Amino acid sequence: MSFVVTGATGQLGGFVIEGLLGKAPADQITAVVRDKDKAADLATRGVKIAIADYNLPETFDGLFSAGDRVLLISSSEIGQDRVAQHKVVIDAAKAAGVALLAYTSATGTLKAHLAEAHRGTEKVLLESGVPYVLLRNNWYSDLIADQLPQVLEHGAIVQAAGEGRIASATRADYAAGAVAVLTGEGHQNKTYELGGDAAWSHAEYAAEVSGQTGKEITYTPVSPEAYIDILVSAGVPKMYADIMADADACIAKGELAGTSGDLSRLIGRPTTPITDTIATALRR
């Protein structure tokens, strides 16, 4: 059995490679990267390195072999035609006759503009006839925790998420789910709604940060329009501000609140609570 992971030097991809190394010999794992230098450490550990780019279809020619189990990690290039980028990988996988292609998608209930590329890719994948698994990931707790320095500096959290709840999990949790699918059996042509075991609101998040730091942190919900203005005034490009406000509006509607339990069942343990993610971030 051999495994291929695209975007392998990214943050999620790195966790997936580490998980696979705990379950399979290194020479059965191929890391697909754009920058060979970033994969130097993996190469020294015996992982096969393949140089390919979603924007260059010819770089995927002959990359896959019949029977491979592939993880297609979605492109992070906002502004690009991500469906076309992903189709390059799907077409190459189909031509090679891979055994399984798992795709890191977005929560099925999410209607944000960010999700459109995921829904489009899912359609291409299902129509391709390639044996698939849809890994519909909820929000990443790590992304929220990355903002802690600013939160502590200003003593406030300002979002357009209202009282909406988020069933987030960590990159390590989602990676463990992907590894379980790639190395396990019985997952072909299934869709998993992945996320944390418990959902939380920004008000609860602010209270938790306050409790762990002893510093009062307030949460102020604002309208999407006001949030865009705040972000732009802080130097965020308008395109990204619009995307962030749109995502928050979807959170406010409850589109990321679902807790299916799929992820904890796949990984055989509870998902990482947001309280633990906060504590880890504060120790950095």
pLDDT in tens, 208-236: 999 999 999 999 999 999 999 999 999 99
pLDDT for 284 = 82
Nearest CA among 37, 48, 107, 29 for reference residue 74: 107
Q: Structurally, how many domains does the chain consist of?
A: 2
The CATH number linked to 226 is 3.90.25.10
The reply to whether 128 and 155 lie within a common domain is no
pLDDT for 128 = 98
Nearest CA among 100, 250, 127 for reference residue 119: 127
Task: Compute the distance between CA of residue 178 and CA of residue 184 in angstroms, rounded to an integer.
Answer: 10
The reply to whether 133 and 158 lie within a common domain is no
The CATH number linked to 31 is 3.40.50.720
Q: Final residue of a domain: which of 89, 122, 137? A: 137
The reply to whether 19 and 148 lie within a common domain is no
Q: CA-CA-CA-CA torsion for 91, 96, 99, 104, nearest 10 degrees?
A: -30
pLDDT for 76 = 86
Nearest CA among 197, 177, 215, 221 for reference residue 275: 197
pLDDT for 80 = 79
b (16+ CB within 10 A) / e for 237-266: eeeebbbbbbbbbbbbbebbbbbbebbbeb
In this prediction the pTM is: 0.96
R_g of the chain computed on alpha carbons: 19
C-beta of residue 33 within 8 angstroms of C-beta of residue 50: yes
Q: CA-CA-CA-CA torsion for 276, 279, 283, 284, nearest 10 degrees?
A: 70
The reply to whether 162 and 63 lie within a common domain is no
The reply to whether 77 and 148 lie within a common domain is no
Give the angle subtended at the CA of 259 by the CAs of 249 and 263, to the nearest 5°: 120
- Is 38 among the domain residues? yes
Provide the domain limits for residue 281.
138-170+195-258+268-284
Tell me the C-alpha to C-alpha distance, in Å, between residue 168 and each of 138, 147, 183, 200.
6, 15, 24, 8
The reply to whether 77 and 143 lie within a common domain is no
The reply to whether 19 and 59 lie within a common domain is yes
pLDDT for 132 = 98
The reply to whether 23 and 127 lie within a common domain is yes
pLDDT in tens, 229-276: 999 999 999 999 999 999 999 999 999 999 999 999 999 999 999 999
Identify the segments of the chain with pLDDT beneath 70: none
